[in-house]
Chain A
């Protein structure tokens, strides 16, 4: 199995490093070798990421072969659980029978591979290294990221083609004389940034320790900054880039606190157990916190968690019985660490209250929005929350659930009133990310990540479609000026429809024939329902997402009806609209197929099984809150029970949303303007994005400006004055000093230098060159030394 692990690591490392190679070549040589008007840079980027996809797929295949495709075999464990009756009973049963789970896991072949790639530095006990951690989640993410990135790269060769000029005119930047801004085209630069981003994103997914995650976390952040600010001359773009970067730093602040706590308490950053050179196995974070049964070991008072740092006979990690050997962390600190790391996820995944940067990030080129700001980077927060799941205690999970819930609702409501086609998609992305977080928070580990993958497919599709529309409409993004584009751009319209159906979660009632979004959203809602059954006090965690599902359906169809149906609202614009070239529609078709079919089979389908194969130990049988925890988490069986109820409710909500949307925007039965007038205050509130930007402006930006002005004033009038006085004094003193220096110090130094020098010169005279004298000196010296010794000899 070692060799399989190495092969996988090598393949994924190649897939990871290829884009880096592409980036280096493009940024250094593209201009020199191929010039501004060549698409070679794009082809190189596509080759790199495409080869990465091939490597990832091969790795996935080898992994499947190596594990005898255990991932797709029907889970016996699941059947046993389903045969059980009763949610709460069931959770207990699962825990009483941990051996079952273990044996069923151990009889299978090794499916998780971890190890070091390269040691960066060693400080005492701290090894800062690049590790890899490969399980089915890693592989799924690799395949997803490389596939979608390939599609988007191909799309971008068409979309960015107008940059293939020596003199690019940016119509959105006005110069002082009223003209437009001219600059050289930056086609190659766009693709080099994209390659760098792919490298960073894959590195993040491959990372085997939390510190490495952090490194690549920041690297994707910087790529996002560069790409949002791609049209840096546009004031809105550079501001948006800054905003994204700064808001993300807020989250990363929490991340760093989490890292510090983890390092102090656990003494390692590694996810997996590490095999040292001396044959000793060092437990990784997950082993230390959860051991083999997924349970925290607490002391009697429940305030301290004992880390599992010793291996018993079976190789299971256990907490040492001897208190002096115990490594402990207080429960509160564990909560803070979890919240800290989740803080990073909040920033990156644009969760409430840090969601404000994502809509502004749409200033970047549309392929960037599709790749970075919908499918991959913003999902990295969800990915990390999933990867780090074993470290989250129930209190943290509850926080995650509520944050996700609020985000989903806020995002969806703002999307109702947004009129910019990309902004609608951005708010929908925020909302869907909220769904994922909610899914993780209520204990649906598989459900949350399931939605991550399906969402990546349909949201990147929709962004590319919007890109196609924008390109077709000559960079018009306002939906109010579109309409009736179905005839003009049929492929775009139909693929977009596939995406809309997928995100809305529509299905044929009574069957499980549906597009991907239905399955994943259904999984989340089912988990949420099971959760609220166990914890009735948190009923909002089911009601709000259900409502949001309806709203989602409503605004997505609104977007589609607005754009593609009805009469053209701007005749002039409409006349010049054209369908996009094949390199843009091709990826759309492929992604449409994925959006429709990637989740076939729902929770019995391959994708879901693939993901849940890596599910952290202990998720499956849930957590009984009655014992010690504040909340209970539903097990698989409990979720299964809620499935039909939740599914029907979600479907109903989706149909209602779609119907209203059709009535208002498709059929025109109700005039949207009337509603707007009647609910003017609500509309204004939503259009104002719930006032978050204003709030932050008042709370942070304005105070920061005031403080800055105050500091500048203090600087100018107080410190500068003091400094100037000092300087004046200094000049006066130094004038004196110079005289002193030249007269006295130099004199002394020169005197010393001269005297040593002349002493040296005079010493030459001792060396007379006369041999007779030399020999005499021997005798003289001996006698002198003897006399000296005689004189100095300690008198005793």
Chain B
């Protein structure tokens, strides 16, 4: 046995004995994809409906992640780096994987109910959906710059195809093309940033970066120092790639066009799932600077302020741009930009508190509440945004329109859908006692704490507060159309089955209320996830 052989042996051992076992949910999804494609190839299996295979796979993966999460909380499983440190297996990652699987289940159910991929295209569509989810799960557990890029691309490429899935619709194809080109541009910038970082530090492993950077950055070096300058630029470029996925201003241009062109189900999926994956990745990347010297912390601190400014800009831009929209999906696209801004505020506050010079017990508590708020917000966002898009999809199936004006007087015909829409919208606005209010509250509270560290956070907080008011106007327009305007004569009648459809919508929308009314149990879990990520306990 030579050394290489020993190394290979150890690699094999590590992979087969630990890593693969913890990677099962992803493998299940891959297997499901293979199974669906197999069914498409073999004429005998043509009759097997793809959605049920997809649903089965999604359920299995969800159950598995749930078990993993439970074991992690219970202490039976230990957090560890897997695949030689390429991926991280911990509570934070597992929580997001679980979250994504849950969301996958809900999305598949929605597509089954709204019937967007027909029988013929079903396997293709679900293959793309599962593939994208797989990429996002990798984003959530990425522990290496390589995996950061791979994850983002794995999530993006199937999304491009999904956006263009409505064959024969010009807008859809155009949106897909824009998405691809824009995505390619953003990926290029990100890859450049990654290579700069890797070149500077000599490693791709995220937890190592902080330590390595402190070796090359001299104490007290300002922005005049070329190394610092390079680090800032590189980090900025990596952030661009993530900002693209988050559709944060000014990297949001694809978003309205894509959402308008894609089917509402796909738009709903992209708006929630890719954000969840990207935020998980962003938090990891943000925490990668920890453990470094004071100079490194200073860089990260500046980045945190920068993110805060971006967040404020995104929220303001998203809300203001939504004013003039007449297409409801386009309006919701801008609304997702704004919400990305709110959530980004939490990340900004996290980095500012984490890397401030006056750290301490109190700042740890604030960073905890930042992550807790982010997770809480994402969790509420899942229900309220998916709910809104689901209703848009279901209404589209009936009136064949996504223009807000065509929603006039809808409340008289489908009170349940309109009530659920109202729930989602109140939650999106952030009115108490909806979940959206409490989520915003937690985030704003941590931003407020961060104002004690840097004055710029006042600006962020002010932008957040003002935007909550801005948001009111355009969201209310939907309700006004549905409830106050009369249904025009001769408008198409809306009818749907109460049993599966109504129940599903209610099931998605009621949690927006429930998460506001009984947050204690959830916040406990969120808090636990956050504290394990930050303090290891």
Contacts and interface: CB of A to CB of B under 8 A. Distances in A.
Interface string A778-796: 1101101110111011111
B365 interface: no
A792 B459 CA distance: 14
B436 to A, nearest CB: 21
Interface string A746-766: 000000000011011101101
A771 interface: yes
Contacts of A794: 222, 298, 301-302
Contacts of A789: 223, 232, 236, 302-303, 306
Given A777-B250, A794-B298, 8 more contacts: A760-B321, A767-B256, A771-B178, A771-B181, A775-B185, A777-B253, A789-B236, A794-B222
B306 A778 contact: no
A69 interface: no
Nearest to B305: A792
A784 B310 CA distance: 12
B256 A774 contact: no
Nearest to B470: A756
Shortest 8 CB-CB contacts between residues of A and residues of B: A760-B323, A793-B223, A760-B320, A781-B250, A774-B253, A761-B324, A763-B321, A775-B185
Nearest to A793: B223
B324 A764 contact: yes
Given A786-B232, A788-B309, A796 B220 contact: yes
B454 to A, nearest CB: 9
Contacts of B509: none
B198 interface: no
Contacts of A771: 177-178, 181-182
Given A778-B186, A782-B189, A796-B222, A757 B253 contact: no
Nearest to B299: A793
A769 interface: yes
B470 A775 contact: no
B248 to A, nearest CB: 10
Contacts, number: 89
Contact of B253 (A761, A767, A792): A767
Interface in B174-218: 177-178, 181-182, 185-186, 189
Contacts of B325: 764
Interface of B is mostly: helix
Interface in A494-533: none
Contact of A761 (B232, B233, B236, B323): B323
Interface string B501-533: 000000000000000000000000000000000
A64 B25 CA distance: 65
Given A767-B256, A775-B182, A760 B232 contact: no
Contacts of A785: 236, 306, 310
A795 B232 CA distance: 14
Given A789-B236, A790-B223, A760 B322 contact: yes
B287 interface: no
Nearest to B310: A785
A767 B321 contact: yes
Given A764-B324, A774-B178, A793-B222, A786 B302 contact: no
A790 B303 CA distance: 11
A786 B236 contact: yes
Contacts of B253: 767, 774, 777
B240 interface: yes
A763 B185 contact: no
Contact of B233 (A775, A777, A779, A786): A786
**Most chain A beta carbons < 10 A, residue from B229, B240, B321:** B321
16 contacts: A756-B470, A760-B321, A763-B324, A764-B324, A764-B325, A766-B321, A767-B257, A771-B181, A778-B240, A785-B236, A786-B232, A786-B233, A786-B236, A789-B303, A790-B229, A793-B223
Given A775-B181, A778-B189, A793-B222, A788 B320 contact: no
Nearest to B252: A767
Interface of A: 756-757, 759-761, 763-764, 766-767, 769, 771, 774-775, 777-779, 781-782, 784-786, 788-790, 792-796
Interface in B66-95: none
Nearest to A784: B250
Contacts of A784: 250
Contacts of B189: 778-779, 782
Contact of A782 (B240, B256, B317): B240
A777 B256 CA distance: 15
Contacts of B285: none
A760 B309 CA distance: 19
Nearest to A760: B323
Nearest to B466: A756
Nearest to A778: B185
Sort chain B's interface into a size bin.
Answer: 35 or more
A796 B222 CA distance: 6
B428 interface: no
B251 interface: yes
B453 to A, nearest CB: 12
A756 B323 contact: yes
A796 B237 CA distance: 24
Interface in B154-190: 177-178, 181-182, 185-186, 189
A769 B257 contact: yes
B86 to A, nearest CB: 27
Contacts of B236: 782, 785-786, 789
Contacts of A756: 320, 323, 470
A792 B321 CA distance: 27
B381 interface: no
B342 interface: no
A777 B243 CA distance: 13
B254 interface: yes
Interface in B222-248: 222-223, 229, 232-233, 236-237, 240
Contacts of B317: 763
Contacts of A763: 317, 320-321, 324
A750 to B, nearest CB: 14
Interface in B312-336: 317, 320-325
A282 to B, nearest CB: 25
B199 to A, nearest CB: 18
A784 to B, nearest CB: 8
**Most chain B beta carbons < 10 A, residue from A767, A775, A789, A794:** A789
B210 to A, nearest CB: 19
B364 to A, nearest CB: 23
A159 B85 CA distance: 92
A760 B237 CA distance: 29
Interface string B459-474: 0000000000010000
Interface string B391-431: 00000000000000000000000000000000000000000
Contacts of B229: 790
Contact of B323 (A757, A777, A781, A792): A757
A122 to B, nearest CB: 15
Contacts of B232: 786, 789-790, 793
A795 B470 contact: no
B367 to A, nearest CB: 20
Contacts of A764: 321, 324-325
Contacts of B302: 789, 792-794
A795 B233 CA distance: 17
A790 B231 CA distance: 12
Nearest to B178: A771
A50 to B, nearest CB: 45
A716 B257 CA distance: 69
A115 to B, nearest CB: 29
A779 B256 CA distance: 20
A17 to B, nearest CB: 31
A145 B470 CA distance: 66
A65 B86 CA distance: 75
Nearest to B192: A782
A763 to B, nearest CB: 4
Contacts of B322: 760
A250 to B, nearest CB: 42
